[in-house]
A and B are shown apart, each in its own frame.
Chain A
Amino acid sequence: MSKFQTSIHEYLETLPLQTFNRLYQKPATCLAIFRLLPPLGKQIVMSSLYVDTPITVADMKLWFKGGAGSAKHKEAMQRLKALNIFAEERGNYTMNATFLEQFRNALTGGGNSQSFGLATSTPDKHHVDVAFLDEFATKQWEAILHYMVGTTQGSAPCAGVMNLLLRSGLMTGGHRGDAENMDVMDFASQMARQDLAPKITHKGFQFLLQDINTQVWAFLLQYLSMAESLNMDLVEVLTFFFQLGSLELGNDYSSETLTPTQTQMLEDLKAYGIVYQRKRGSRRFYPTRLATTLTSGTPVLLGSHPSASRNAAGAGRKSEEDEEDDHGFIVMETNYRIYAYTDSPLQIAVLNLFVHLRDRFPNMVTGVVTRDSIRRALSKGITAEQIITYLNAHAHAQMRKHSPILPLTVVDQIRLWEIEKNRLRPQASWLYSQFSRPQDFDSTLQYASELGVVLWSNAKRRLIAITAEGHQAVGAYVRKLIARHKEQQAAQTQQQQQQRYQQPATSVVS
């Protein structure tokens, strides 16, 4: 399961039941949410879709093979329950009635919900083709990314985009706290006045390395959380996202059936390059490739294989191949050298995050991955895993012939460089010292290690480091030891002193 699916899942699972019931009123939404399920979850829904009686928990358990099967079953059921598709009551699984009805409608084409997008009845005088839409989407989306990395190409994105970037914490404008309450226009004008250019954050760097689908969803989820504060109806916003995912690229759709909220959204989505509208208030709109692949899970814009992601309709296959050339451009050698066949300032800027770039040619740049360049990236909050995923996703067609795609030495080394940074790990702990008698030390150590709370100990210097959770038990034990000692030597002065220092100690782990 790719990352964006996880993030949309997490978001959906926070919604209350009422919201789900309203969401499931549209077949298109049912279909889109269904596609987010794990494979066995899909199978459970399909198997139960045309069973009229509730299925007992015990019966469903029998569908699955033991071991790995029941683990998958548990995982799938958990998802289905979190999304309110299934409910468990009195030993039976029952499917959400709204979902059941509308999903059946989605499969059989019944109902009259118009949720799959109403096509325009008249041909468009200003018809645009797939190539144009792709170009439009790429231009809009890359403008945002360009702005984030700070290349000067293209104009600054509009206020809506700026606001979103700041809100999501991908960029910071210096006084983010105010931005929450401030009107967008005020904020933009104030920024212009103070000439306070927003700066990219750690989160922003991580964002740049993700694939486009994840990026778009991250944007849209942020949009959702803003929608609530803008008094937009959450259900309408989500429904529209899912509807966009079911539309067909290269066709124009009528905006007449959209609600006012959704019409407003069209304007915003146009700024991201997700839909195209010739002019504001036009009665028709075109979804771009960013929209039509929203729910598919296949990162179509990024180096996916043409035949794997397209249906037999054959539309747009050519342009996709062109894009594939665009996106699979990195050649990596075992000697840590990187050759990137690109002239896009954006790609070069992204590469510059973790590659020491050496030479630049009209159609390519060369560089080398060094310990320093990787550490620079790590210090910006980028993880080794993200770098490797990025390199994998953008590997050149020639590289893809090998398995694994990237040279193992380089991948391992990047991971090692990351581990290098994590040698120290702070942990809150209590240090027990100044045990006057060795037997006290030994019994305390034994007691603590039985509890499994010893972080470190030194018999010679009679020191024990105990985790914060273990302090209460061990402390009580030591107090008991002291008390017993006192009883034994009631007449004598106390020879032994035990002190505890409360201080966060740092233990060496590797």
Chain B
Amino acid sequence: MKDTSTSEDDSNLLVIVIDTNPFEWEHPSAPLKLNQALQHILAFMNAHLAGRHDNKLAVIASHVGVSKFLYPTLNELTPGSKVQTKKDANVYQVFKVVNDAVISGISRLLQDPGPTLQEKDLGSSKIAASLSLGLCYINQAVRSDGMGHVKARILVLTVSPDSSSDYIPIMNCIFSAQKANIPIDVCKIWGEDAVFLQQAAHITEGIYMRPDDPQGLLQILMFSFLPDMFSRNYLYLPGQDQVDFRAACFCHKKIVDIGYVCSVCLSIFCSFSPVCSTCKTKFAFQPLLPSARRLVKGAASSPSSPRPSTPAI
């Protein structure tokens, strides 16, 4: 039903999800600080807006414990706020509005101590929440367009490791995006591969990249993540030869290689339980205990080759 054809005259809506988790960005071993990376990202945003007059952009910060729109913000739409942005004859006004909004939004986020952080939130950011916000925004934009000329995509720029508690919401976002033909591009700026986001890019036919040198972030963004849906038909873009398909169990949020799957609702568990906690199905049989101990592995062991697992939804 959805129109998947692309044309030269499409306008592009790019939703950028920036992981602003300060615990990772300001880590002593981080190869790139947030303010440096931000310069690269701002130039990339401008490049996207430069492409076409009607290209649109939304920026969402995925912070620790909270996820927030940086652009467009609510007060952007109220008249009077426009006066605040002082004009600069050296900068294209459209660029300036976006850049100022993003910079001030991030600095506000970083200065604000925020709500009391729970222990489990530390070290992870709200990627799932940001993806949901992005998808809602895209849905609204595509509907109000009506002509089918807006082609949307999501770009996630992340540094944080996976948080396994986010598994189910992230998966739900991925399948919504797949259904709506919205590719999710992922750039894991440094660190380990992000398992869930790798799957997101794979399922939605987006691009996943973990650059070798984070210093050259801008070049990577320009080269691999800037092409719009039309250009992608004609370009060779980085693909993934290996995708880590591991899932997180529903009971303890551990990432597992092999686990137990409910035969009715396909929920995943790391250990056997006689009643499925999701759909309340009672299992009348007993597992073979010795083999079960061998089968269940923890998150620590990473597989050498990708193994398909049942996606949970």
Contacts and interface: CB of A to CB of B under 8 A. Distances in A.
Interface of A: 1, 27-28, 31, 34-35, 38-40, 42-43, 46-47, 49-51, 62-65, 68-69, 72-73, 105-119, 246-248, 251, 257, 293, 295-298, 305, 307-309, 311-315
A78 B234 CA distance: 17
A43 B93 contact: no
8 closest cross-chain pairs (CB), A and B? A296-B53, A119-B87, A109-B91, A69-B234, A114-B89, A312-B72, A118-B89, A107-B46
Given A47-B222, A106-B50, A308-B11, A111 B234 contact: no
Nearest to A297: B53
Contacts of A112: 90
Contacts of A309: 53-54
A312 B76 contact: yes
Interface stretch (B16-24, B123-131, B144-152, B205-213): B144-152
B283 interface: no
Interface of B: 8, 11, 39, 42-43, 46-47, 50-54, 56, 71-72, 76-77, 82, 87-97, 99, 141, 144-147, 149-150, 218-219, 222-223, 226-228, 230-231, 233-236
B89 A115 contact: yes
27 contacts: A39-B228, A39-B231, A40-B234, A42-B51, A63-B236, A64-B235, A65-B234, A65-B235, A68-B234, A69-B235, A73-B234, A107-B46, A107-B47, A107-B95, A108-B42, A109-B88, A109-B90, A109-B91, A109-B99, A116-B88, A116-B89, A116-B93, A257-B89, A308-B11, A309-B54, A311-B54, A315-B82
Given A35-B52, A47-B222, A117-B89, A308 B235 contact: no
B234 A307 contact: no
B57 to A, nearest CB: 9
A65 B46 CA distance: 27
Nearest to A292: B53
A109 B141 contact: no
A107 B50 contact: yes
A333 to B, nearest CB: 23
Contacts of B146: 305, 307
B87 A313 contact: no
Given A46-B222, A65-B233, 9 more contacts: A43-B227, A46-B47, A47-B222, A50-B219, A73-B234, A106-B46, A108-B39, A115-B90, A309-B54
Contacts of B90: 27, 105, 109-116
A396 to B, nearest CB: 15
A40 to B, nearest CB: 6
B54 A298 contact: yes
A107 B96 CA distance: 10
A83 to B, nearest CB: 16
Contacts of A65: 233-236
Contact of B234 (A27, A50, A72, A106): A72
Nearest to B82: A313
Contacts of B218: 50
Contact of A106 (B89, B92, B228): B92
Nearest to A307: B144
A38 B72 CA distance: 28
Given A43-B226, A298-B53, A308-B150, A31 B145 contact: no
B56 A311 contact: yes
Nearest to A247: B93
Contact of A43 (B39, B42, B89, B235): B235
Nearest to A107: B46
A314 B43 CA distance: 24
B288 to A, nearest CB: 51
B50 A34 contact: yes
A350 B292 CA distance: 82
Contact of A119 (B89, B92, B95, B145): B89
Contacts of A251: 87
Contact of A246 (B77, B92, B234): B92
A105 B50 CA distance: 12
A508 B70 CA distance: 68
A308 B145 contact: yes
A50 B99 CA distance: 20
A247 B230 CA distance: 28
A116 B89 CA distance: 5
A68 B233 contact: yes
Nearest to B87: A119
Contact of A308 (B94, B147, B223): B147
A299 to B, nearest CB: 11
Contacts of B97: 313
Contacts of B230: 39
A307 B141 contact: yes
A67 to B, nearest CB: 9
A269 B36 CA distance: 44
Contact of A108 (B43, B89, B228): B43
A35 B144 contact: no
Contact of A295 (B53, B72, B95, B144): B53
B236 A62 contact: yes
Contacts of A111: 90
Given A305-B147, A308-B147, A107 B11 contact: no
A3 to B, nearest CB: 13
A509 B145 CA distance: 47
A123 to B, nearest CB: 10
Contacts of B150: 308
A295 B94 CA distance: 14
A31 B54 contact: no
Contacts of A315: 82
Nearest to A49: B222
Contact of A109 (B47, B96, B222, B236): B96
Contacts of B88: 109, 116
A113 B222 CA distance: 25
A309 to B, nearest CB: 5
